Amino acid sequence: MIIVMQHGVETDLIEEVKSRLVQEGFDIHESRGIARTIIGAIGDPTRVPLLALEAMPGVEKVVPILKPYKLVSREFKEEPTVVNVGNAAIGGDEIHVIAGPCAVESRQQILETAQVVKESGATLLRGGAYKPRTSPYSFQGLGLRGLEYLAEAREMTGLAVVTEVMDTESLPQVREYADILQVGARNMQNFNLLKKIGEQDRPVLLKRGHSSTIEEWLLAAEYIMSMGNYKVILCERGIRTFEEYTRNTLDLSAVPAVKSLSHLPVIVDPSHGTGRRELVAPMSRAAVAAGADGLLVEVHPYPDAALSDGPQSLKPQSLSDLIHELDSMAPIMNRSLGTLVG
């Protein structure tokens, strides 16, 4: 439930409400806004009658949260969450493009791509060092060496780095290099990983699982937030359906749906969402029109030679053309395209 305190209430009264809730076994999440303080209380609602809480001095109202996810919900926090990464504010007025290769393949490849990403106007660099591949015989990523190359690319361009963390063992290492920790579709319900990531003070990009409902996806975000990490960005990347022409079915309706259910930023990955390079630009435009806060796009200087996901990777010129189009489109949505200089 949410306890909304009266406007300008004294700290003592807030503390009294909190200690009453703690006594009854609730987990407290406090949000002090300019106008008022809101206390989120997670626990057994039968432990303390709503009316008794509402009668406490300083309390304006008590609102039960009926959804299974609490901290993630719009009821818990009405204003949108903005996740700051370097100079990029994701979830605010700006639309940010995160671009880069599927995998870091070599020092030369990532440095060259990072330059392309920067020149095209994207604001964050993506690239996998640890790759979750369907086949054990496919390229698995460069591991630590890949992370080191990403750090060099960041140094060279000033672009913040997004990279996937696949397991709890490698989390401390990946955390050292990543500005945003990506949780891949295959790991969306790896609850131990989600809990450990929830203990980090590092933004998280949580991809929707292949076969996950919106509710399951939001509950995965709740796992991270329940451990104290509120910097969660959701990423729609397509779901499995009977359709085989596209790699996945990009569920763009999830964008406005999640935006109404949650205060968290939502971005869209049209590359994995379609699996086809020629569909990336149209789906990117559609994602922005649907209200997405950003895009995650794969780009490769030589897609035909890519070690993974070549068919869905844009060529450098197409990335630059796409960002140009988004720049002219953004004002229609009352937004602007994020830039590197904040």
Site string for Mn ion, 101-120 (x = CB under 5 A): -x------------------
Please, which residues bridge with residue 268 across strands?
Answer: 236, 295
Binds Mn ion by CB under 5 A, chosen from 185, 284, 309, 313: 309
Q: Does 300 bind ligand PEP (CB under 6 A)?
A: no
Q: Does 287 bind ligand PEP (CB under 6 A)?
A: no
Nearer to ligand PEP, 207 or 259 (CB): 207
* Nearest Cα to Cα of residue 182 among 138, 140, 126: 126
**φ and ψ at residue 52, rounded to 5 degrees:** -65, -40
185 binds, among Mn ion, ligand PEP, none (CB under 5 to 8 A by kind): ligand PEP
Taking CA 298 as the corner, what is the angle to CA 267 and CA 92, rounded to the nearest 5 degrees? 25
The 10 Å Cβ neighbour count of residue 45 is 15
Taking CA 210 as the corner, what is the angle to CA 205 and CA 215, rounded to the nearest 5 degrees? 70
Binds ligand PEP by CB under 6 A, chosen from 70, 154, 237, 263: 237
Q: How far apart are CA 92 and CA 196, in angstroms?
A: 27
94 binds, among ligand PEP, Mn ion, none (CB under 5 to 8 A by kind): none
Q: Does 310 bind ligand PEP (CB under 6 A)?
A: no
Binds ligand PEP by CB under 6 A, chosen from 196, 207, 263, 335: 207
Site string for ligand PEP, 123-152 (x = CB under 6 A): -----x---x--------------------
Q: Does 251 bind Mn ion (CB under 5 A)?
A: no
Q: Where are the alpha helices (DSSP H) in the chain?
A: 11-23, 50-54, 107-120, 144-157, 171-177, 191-198, 214-226, 254-261, 270-274, 277-289, 316-329
Nearer to ligand PEP, 2 or 159 (CB): 159
Q: Does 272 bind ligand PEP (CB under 6 A)?
A: yes
* Nearest Cα to Cα of residue 222 among 84, 73, 79, 80: 73
What is the closest distance, in whole angstroms, from the C-beta atom of residue 176 to Mn ion in the complex?
Answer: 23
Q: Are 208 and 235 in contact (CB under 8 A)?
A: yes
Positions that interact with ligand PEP (CB under 6 A): 102, 128, 132, 184-186, 207, 237, 272
Residue numbers of the site for Mn ion (CB under 5 A)? Answer: 102, 309
